[in-house]
Amino acid sequence: MVAPSPVVAPPPVVAPKNRGRHGGATPTSNPNVFLIIMIFLELVLQNFGPYADRQVINLDPRIDDDNIRPIILLGGMNGGGKTTLMDAIRLALYGSRAQCSTRGNLSYADFLTQCVNNKADPVNKTRIELVFEHIEDDKPIQYRVVRTWEKNPKDGKDSLGILGADETWPQSLVNIWDEYIENILPLGISNLFLFDGEQVKELAEQEIPPTVVVDAINALLGLELADKLAIDLEILVNRKKKENADTQDLAKLEEIESRLREQSNKKAATEAELNDLQKDLKELEIKHEEAVNKYIAEGGKIAAESSKLDTQKENEVKNLENVRQELCELAEGVLPLALIPNLLSQIQTQAEKEFKIQQVQLAKDVLIARDQRLLNLLNQLNLELEKINNIQTFLVEDINNLYAGNSSTETTWLNADEESLTLLDNIIYRLQTAQNQANKKLLELQNYEEEILGIERQIQTAATPEEYTKLKKDREKTQGELTKAISKIELLNRTLTELETAINQGRKELNEYTSDSLKHQSTEHLINAATKVQQTLKIFREKLTLRKLNKLEEEVKNCFLYLLHKSDLVHRIAIDAKTFSLSLYDLNGKPVPKHRLSAGEKQLLAIAFLWGLAKVSGKHLPIAIDTPLGRLDSSHRNNLVERYFPAASHQVILLSTDTEISKPEHQTLKENEAIAREYLLEYNSKNRETTIKEGYFW
């Protein structure tokens, strides 16, 4: 066994000072004060992935005895080895149980071989060392976890060593390491503290949390223990039943149990196949959507509708010709007079003036005739001539005064009578009506012309027959594959339902059969007691779930509002007790559909979910985040940088590109005194190696 590097004793664990400089209340009373129970101190990589030779990263966030800055910032471009660092931490802690990103379906031996640096000397072993400190019996204890292996390991596994602070190898701890680390950072909830941006993206986009998060929630709520105890009780009961059954009963029991095992195995295989199909379904949906979009974008849809478009064009052309015919009919009437509107107006004015002159002259003639009759009467009365002359003079002057302003000497050239004037007014009215109708018809004509032009443009963009055939074939192929996958998923779901029904029936048959075959009172008592315990466990599990979910709902809501910095969006968050899906409600108790949230708000909700789970777990552990900001806009990035990273834990390891924690975000973290150490992962594409250097991109 290769001797590891000695563990250097760091300063004692202390609570950090509150250095938050942004306003607003955090989800806890003081987010920068932690009861630290675990802290990563150092990570050593030797010939691991792109990291050649021996490279050391100091992860201790403590600047001195009185000051802790939570963030360890590691910058690197995509493909430069950021995710490899996360895998190294997981691998050091959990070995073959580690959920590493690049392992996939590889065996552990093949995965270890894959992790060996491609230019490493075969003599030198690949090595990972992780130094951490945690509190045990109210005292800080340090361990250096060392894993070494060769390329193509003979026994298919690595060599594990644990070095204590006294530089000794406690072999007893190596033998129980898996159980020991489960008490500090259980594998089931490790994804709440060691996660990446893709995990956040998946959690944000799905209505129901992914399997890894559901498993973490079950582990967090303690539901795994209750389920395991229920299974153990069932095994114990069946064992006791078998011990006390006769030979015939035993054979029957074994037959039933064999059938149950077969059905359970078939159910597990069906679930695995269903899970794979559901993953394939997402890819097929994307592929089909791309084919449909291409079919539409390249004119396939228009080509398919070409006959319909031709018919539509013919109808529009007919409508256009009808409107033109109606315009021609309007032109046969008074409409051409619209070409001389000024002349018509002058004629109407002149006619009205002449008609007025005629009326005045008629009135004047009537008055003169009346005056003449009066004078004749006066002459018959034998009045004095002087008086008659005075009366005559008065009458003449009176008429002249009455018509002094109405000259009848103006030239009249129309000499229109009243009937002609009425006819002229009628023509002008009809002309206005015809003009309004013509304007409407012209507008209709323009609309039809635009419709025809639009249809012609669509027809021009239609795919050629050869292109249309190919586009249609591609679309129908993806549609067929998608339909086939959906049908198979439905068939598997029905199969699962049938298997679950059969398994439940088998268990019921097993319980009924063996209960009838029991002979000993003591065993019956144990079975009855176990049944009561199982019922109690069921009630306990339900109440435990509700109690912890209530706490989790409040914590997730507080974290989300704190990150979002928008208090009027969500008033309450509810978590389904079976699927753990989130439901949001506003101040009026009305549901807030998740699709109303922006993409950034969905990701903040996902991060708040993970943060709330980590807080409810009661375990104050380091947090490592790979690609934390890649899909967020600037405002949501600022919220995470200012509110989440400094407050998430006493130690936050950020693995970021230069576009995620860019210059402004980096400056903000520096000004808030949140960064303890910075490293840059420089990748040499020629040598395909990464070198770790102090400092960041700027």
Q: Which of the four pLDDT bands, split at 50, 70 and 90, describes residue 89?
A: very high
Q: Which of the four pLDDT bands, split at 50, 70 and 90, describes residue 19?
A: very low
Single-letter amino acid, residue 556: V
- As a whole number, mean pLDDT of residues 554-566 equals 85
Q: Which of the four pLDDT bands, split at 50, 70 and 90, describes residue 148?
A: very high
pLDDT of residue 522: 55
- As a whole number, mean pLDDT of residues 316-345 equals 87
Single-letter amino acid, residue 590: K
**Geometric angle at alpha carbon 623, from 114 and 610, rounded to 5°:** 105
Please give the share of the chain, as a percent, with pLDDT higher than 70: 85
pLDDT of residue 48: 94
| In the chain, domain spans | 306-460
pLDDT of residue 167: 66
As to burial, measured by CB atoms within 10 angstroms (0-12 exposed, 13-18 middle, 19+ buried), residue 16 is buried
pLDDT of residue 205: 77
Q: Is the pLDDT of residue 24 over 70?
A: no
Region of poorest pLDDT, from 347-361, 513-527, 658-672: 513-527
At 474-497, the pLDDT tens digits run: 888 888 888 998 999 899 899 989
- As a whole number, mean pLDDT of residues 355-369 equals 81
* Pairing status of strand 675-684 against strand 71-76: parallel
Helix (H) or strand (E) segment spanning residue 149: strand 139-149
Q: Is the pLDDT of residue 91 over 90?
A: yes
Rounded Cα–Cα distance for residues 273 and 271 (Å):
5
pLDDT of residue 469: 83
Q: Is the pLDDT of residue 71 over 70?
A: yes
Q: Which of the four pLDDT bands, split at 50, 70 and 90, describes residue 194?
A: confident
Region of poorest pLDDT, from 52-61, 230-239, 447-456: 230-239
The better pLDDT of the pair 171, 115 is held by: 115
At 386-405, the pLDDT tens digits run: 888 888 888 888 888 877 76
Write out the two tokens for 476. Answer: 């129908």
At 677-695, the pLDDT tens digits run: 999 999 988 888 999 999 9
CB 112 within 8 A of CB 125: no
Expressed in percent and rounded to 5, the helix, strand and coil fractions of the chain are: 60, 15, 25
pLDDT of residue 17: 39
CB 74 within 8 A of CB 23: no
Place of tokens 């691991």: 48
Q: Is the pLDDT of residue 447 over 50?
A: yes
At 589-630, the pLDDT tens digits run: 898 888 788 878 888 888 888 888 888 877 788 999 887 665
Please give the share of the chain, as a percent, with pLDDT higher than 90: 17
At 248-286, the pLDDT tens digits run: 566 777 788 788 888 888 888 888 888 888 888 888 888
Q: Is the pLDDT of residue 27 over 60?
A: no
CB 149 within 8 A of CB 126: yes
The better pLDDT of the pair 273, 234 is held by: 273
| Cα separations in angstroms, 189 against 31, 153, 186, 300, 644 | 21, 30, 6, 50, 19
pLDDT of residue 153: 76
Helix (H) or strand (E) segment spanning residue 72: strand 71-76
pLDDT of residue 407: 54
Please report which residue ranges of 461-592 form alpha helices under DSSP H: 465-517, 521-564
The better pLDDT of the pair 523, 151 is held by: 151
- As a whole number, mean pLDDT of residues 70-78 equals 93
CB 69 within 8 A of CB 674: yes
Backbone angles phi, psi at 656, to 5 degrees: -135, 155
Rounded Cα–Cα distance for residues 4 and 159 (Å):
12
pLDDT of residue 517: 54
* Secondary structure of 223-271 as H, E, C letters: HHHHHHHHHHHHHHHHHHHHHCCCHHHHHHHHHHHHHHHHHHHHHHHHH
Q: Which of the four pLDDT bands, split at 50, 70 and 90, describes residue 226?
A: low
Helix (H) or strand (E) segment spanning residue 425: helix 418-460
- As a whole number, mean pLDDT of residues 13-34 equals 39
Highest mean pLDDT: which of 33-42, 71-80, 417-426, 599-608? 71-80
Q: Is the pLDDT of residue 166 over 70?
A: no
The better pLDDT of the pair 297, 112 is held by: 112
Provide the mean pLDDT of the chain.
81
Q: Which of the four pLDDT bands, split at 50, 70 and 90, describes residue 697?
A: very high
For the chain, first and last CA: distance in Å? Answer: 41
Rounded Cα–Cα distance for residues 519 and 245 (Å):
7
The answer to whether the Cα torsion of 191, 196, 198, 202 is positive or negative is: positive
pLDDT of residue 6: 37
Rounded Cα–Cα distance for residues 596 and 375 (Å):
101
Q: Which residues does 575 contact at the CB level (< 8 Å), separation at least 6?
A: 549, 552, 553, 556, 581, 582, 583
Rounded Cα–Cα distance for residues 527 and 33 (Å):
50
Region of poorest pLDDT, from 7-11, 297-301, 375-379: 7-11
As to burial, measured by CB atoms within 10 angstroms (0-12 exposed, 13-18 middle, 19+ buried), residue 173 is middle
- pTM (2 d.p.): 0.56
pLDDT of residue 75: 94
CB 56 within 8 A of CB 42: yes
Q: Residue 546 half-sphere exposure, CB side, CA atoms within 13 Å?
A: 5
pLDDT of residue 412: 67
At 422-441, the pLDDT tens digits run: 888 888 888 888 889 989 99
pLDDT of residue 42: 96
